A and B are shown apart, each in its own frame.
Chain A
Amino acid sequence: MRNIIKLSVTLAVVGIISAALLTGVYNVTAPIIAERQEAEYRQALELYFPGFASYDSEEIGDDYFDLIYDGSDELIGIMGTIEQQGYDGTITYNLAMDDSGSIIGVRVVSHSETPGIGDVITTEVFQEQFFGKNYEDPIVAGDDVNAITGATVSSSAMINSIRRVSGVVAENFLGVESVAIDISEVPDGTYQGSAPGLGGELTVEVEVSDGVIVSIEVIEHNETPTYFIEAYPFIPEQIIAEQHFDIDTQTGATISSEAIIEAVQNALREALGIEVGEEPEEEPVDINISEIPDGIYVGSGEGFYGPITVEVEVAGGQIVSIVITGQDETPEYFRESNPLIPERIIEEQSLDIDTSTGATFSAKGIVQAVLNALDSESGGED
C-alpha cells in the first residue's frame, strides 16, 4: 500500500512540475508568437502599401480581405488572403491590389505543391505577369498570362483563383456593379459560351425555356478525363436544379467545375447582351522587313530564366537565318521552341506568328529578341 502511494505521489509530482513549467514557458512565448505573426503580416503590408496606417478586415465567402487605409483614412488598397486547392493540397496566398483594383503583388504564404515542379508558383517570373492587371483584364492562361508547362495544374489554379478574386474585390469594394444574370429575362433559345478550363477553352451549350435553364451540355473541352468526370454532369445538374450559379464546387475537379459555371454564365450574358470581358489587343508587331538593309543583326529578348540573344541575317529584304547565340532556358522546354520558332519566322517573313508551343515563355523571348535585333539597326551590324 505504501508503495502505491509512493508511486502515485512521484508521478503526480513529475506531472505537476511539468505542467507548471510548461505554463510558465507558454506565458512567455505566446505573446511573442502572436506579436511576430502580426508583425510579419504588417511587414508584408508595408511592402505593398508604403503609406499604410490601419486596416479593416472583412470576410467574403471563404476569402479574407483587409482594406488598407493611409494616415488620412483614404483607402489605398486591398490585401486578400485566399485559400485555393492546388495540385497537392491547399495553396494560401496574399493578393495585393491598389485602390483601382490593379494587382500589385502576389505572395504565396504556404503551399505543398511538388518541389521542383508545382512550386514555380512562388517564382517572380510567374507572379510578375499578374502585376498591373485588374478585374477588366481577362486573366486567362494563354491569353494575357501564361500557365507553366509541366505545372499546369498548380499554375492554372493560381491564375483562375486570381481572376475570381479580382472580380470579388471589384464587386464588393470598388463599387463596380457586377451585371447580375437574371435567368428569367433570358429569351428562350440555345446559347453557347466558353471559359478557360484546365486544358484550354471549354464550351457549353445552354438551353433556356420559359426563363429556366433546362439543359447544359459541354460541347467542347480539353480537360483531363479523370477530373472531368467529377465535374460533369454533376455541376450542370446542380445549376439546373438550383437555377443559380452559387453552387458547391467542392469536387475533386474545382477548376473544371468553375470553368463550366463561368461558361454557362458567359453564354447567358451574351444572350442578355451584357458585355463579356473584352479580348486584349495583341501588341502589333510591325516591322517592315523588306526595308531592312542586308546584314547581320543581334538582339536580345527576355526568356523564362534570362536573356535570349539572337543573330539575324537579312539578305534582299528577307530574313534568311536566325541563330540563337545565348540562352539560359530549361533544356527540355527550349527544345520545343528552337528551331521551331526561327523556322516559323523565316517561313512567314513576319514576327506575328503563333507562339503557342509547349514553351510559350521561351518562344516569346525569341520573337522579342528578333524584333529587338531588327528594330535597332544600330544594334550591331558586323
Chain B
Amino acid sequence: MDYILRRILYAIPIALGVTVIVFSLVYMGPVDPLTAVTPDDAEPHVIEMIKKQYGFDKPIPVQYLIWLKRALMGDFGVSLQSNRPVIEEVIPALRKTMMLAMVATGLAFSVAFVLGVLAAYHNGTWMDRIFTGTAVIGVSVPNYWLSIVLVVIFAVELNWLPAVGMGPRGSGEWEWDLVHIRYLILPVIAVSAIPVGIITRTTRACVLEMLSQEFVPALHSKGITSVRVLVHVVRNAAPTVLAATGIQFGHLLGGSILVETVFVWPGTGYLLNESIFRRDFPVLQGTIAVLAIFFVLINLIVDIVQTWLDPRIKRG
C-alpha cells in the first residue's frame, strides 16, 4: 500500500518532467517559437493574438506555466493546417491508434504467452529453438518493412486483403464488420511483431526461472501431474508477463507511426507524420503530449497492478 502511494506520488514529477520536455520541443527547433505556432499567412492582429495567448512576451518559465495550465484543460492550441483545435484532431486519431494497439497487444499476448511457455517447457529442444528464433525475428524485424512485405504478399500477389486505409474508398469511419476488419489484419500483424518477440522472451525466461525453483520437483514428487504443475507455474509467471505486455501496449501507442504511415492508417502516428511535414507545430506538440502522458499512466497502472497481483515483489 505504501509502495502504491509512493509510486503514484513519484509519477507526478515524472509527468511534469514529461510536460517540460514536450513544452521545450518548440524551443529546440531552428525557428522562432512564435513563427512555429503561427500560420504563414496570418494577419498581424492574429499574430498579436497568438503572442498574447501563448505569453511569448513573458519569461520562459511563465510561458511554460501558461502552456501547462492550458494543456491540463486539453487546450493545445489550434492546428495551423486545419484551423481546428488540436485536441479535436488528436482524440479521433488516438482512438484509431488505440484500437490498433489493443487488438495487436491482445494478439501478441495470446501468441507469445503460448510460445514462451512451450519454449520454456521444452527448454533446449527444437521447439525451444524455433520459438526463441521466432522471438528474435520479432524484435529484429523493422515493422515498417514487415508492413511492406505483408502488403506485397497479401495485397499485391494474393490480392486477399486491402493494401492501405481503414475502410472502403478511404473512409475514416470504423465499423466492427467483416468489410472493415479486413483492413485491420495486416497493420495488426505488423505492429504485433515486436511485442510478440518481447513477450515470448519474457514468458520463457520467467517460466524457466519458476521451473528451476525447488517447489517444482516437490510438486512432482507429490505425484502432481505436470499439467497441474504447468498451471501453477503459469499463474506465478503471469504478473511479470502481464507487466511486460502493458509496457508493450504503451510503446505501441507511440511507436506505430511507421506502420500507420505505410498503411495510411489515420491514427496518431499518421497525424504526427503529417504535422512534421506540414510544420504544424501545435499538432506535433499536442499529439506527443497526449501520447506521453498516456504512457506515463500506463506504466503507473502496470506497476500498481503488478504489485497487486504479486505481493512478493518488494520495491524500494
A and B found bound together: no
Residues on B lying within 8 angstroms of A by beta carbon are none
Residues on A lying within 8 angstroms of B by beta carbon are none
